[in-house]
Amino acid sequence: MRSRRSFFTSPLTVGLGAQQNGDAKVMIEVRGLSKSYGDYQAVEDISFTAGKGEIVGFLGPNGAGKTTTIRMLATYLPPTAGSATVAGFNVVTQADEVRKRIGYLPENPPLYGEMKVVEYLTFIAEIKGVVRSRIAARVEEVMEQCFVADVRNKLCNHLSRGYRQRVGLAQAIMNDPEVIILDEPTSGLDPKQIIEIRKLIKSLGERHTVLLSTHILPEVAMVCDKVVIVNRGHVVVEGPLSQVSRDKSLEQVFLESVSQDGPIVTAA
């Protein structure tokens, strides 16, 4: 039996729409979420929450279940068991409503190589329901935000890895979503670009809920308000960054929590 220690003191009260936790809206709520492929259990009984305006670092070693969990939250994969809501909507029974309210950047950005950057982002704005009269202006805004205006007329196929990541981030925020899910958003970027994207993610957290999956622990320490660490399909740490790393560095907490004999620390 794993020992449990909580970083939370107030119980969760579920309401209509986006749920409430005290005065803060709970924008992502995961309860007992599991995903299996035959005999292989990719995710087992994962539970965590993310509040409105929180940037949550979602960490774990390779094969821990991060990407599978993210794909379930983004409605790409159905769970085997458990439940999850995003902005108050169930990811299975209300998937269309969830998709309207999220921006998702997978590890490999979903670009159409034969399109120019500006054409691709215009297409994304159209399919994401940006008001027609606002599309051109919104595309310009997002290109400036994500530092891709200088390659607006390049084919997506001809972009470097760094630019592909930034165009992928641009499509994720095009519809100004309530919840933004980012899977390794700074992968392949140079140091200057990483700093720029970290600043952008930090600014997004002022108005949006951001779930950030990354292997870069300093990135979490710089931009995140909360940390969720998963290992072998289970949540092993969940709590505010200030409390998780109060007595130890985030690196120490991570290494201990994902080691075979390390402590198991979860939210109540």
Q: What is the pLDDT of residue 5?
A: 36
Q: What is the pLDDT of residue 34?
A: 95
What pLDDT digit, counting tens, does each position of 134-176 carry? 999 999 999 998 989 999 999 999 998 889 989 999 999 999 9
- Considering the domain boundaries, does residue 5 fall inside one? no
Q: Is 241 strand, coil or helix?
A: helix
What pLDDT digit, counting tens, does each position of 205-258 carry? 888 999 999 888 888 999 999 999 999 889 999 999 999 988 899 999 999 888
Q: What is the pLDDT of residue 187?
A: 80
| Beta strands per DSSP E along the chain | 19-21, 24-37, 40-51, 55-59, 81-86, 89-90, 102-105, 179-183, 209-213, 226-231, 234-240
Q: What is the pLDDT of residue 14?
A: 28
- Considering the domain boundaries, does residue 38 fall inside one? yes
What pLDDT digit, counting tens, does each position of 103-127 carry? 999 988 889 999 999 999 999 999 9
Q: What is the pLDDT of residue 2?
A: 40
pTM exceeding 0.95 = no
What pLDDT digit, counting tens, does each position of 9-19 carry? 222 222 334 44
- Considering the domain boundaries, does residue 2 fall inside one? no
- Considering the domain boundaries, does residue 214 fall inside one? yes
Question: Is-contact 81 115, C-beta < 8 A?
Answer: no
Question: Is-contact 41 92, C-beta < 8 A?
Answer: no
Q: How many helices (H) and strands (E) does the chain have?
A: 9, 11
Tokens, residue 198: 């970290």
Q: Is the pLDDT confidence value at 83 over 80?
A: yes
- Considering the domain boundaries, does residue 104 fall inside one? yes
Q: What is the pLDDT of residue 24?
A: 58
Q: What is the pLDDT of residue 193?
A: 82
| 82: confidence class by pLDDT, cuts 50, 70, 90 | very high
CATH code where residue 89 lies: 3.40.50.300
- Considering the domain boundaries, does residue 207 fall inside one? yes
- Considering the domain boundaries, does residue 238 fall inside one? yes
pLDDT: is 81 or 197 the higher one? 81
Q: What is the pLDDT of residue 268?
A: 41
Range of the domain at 79: 19-258
Could you give the CA distance from residue 90 to residue 194 in angstroms, rounded to a whole number?
Answer: 33
Query: Domain total for the chain?
Result: 1
What pLDDT digit, counting tens, does each position of 20-76 carry? 444 458 999 999 999 999 989 999 999 999 999 999 999 998 888 899 999 999 999
42 HSE (CA, 13 A, CB side)? 19
- Considering the domain boundaries, does residue 100 fall inside one? yes
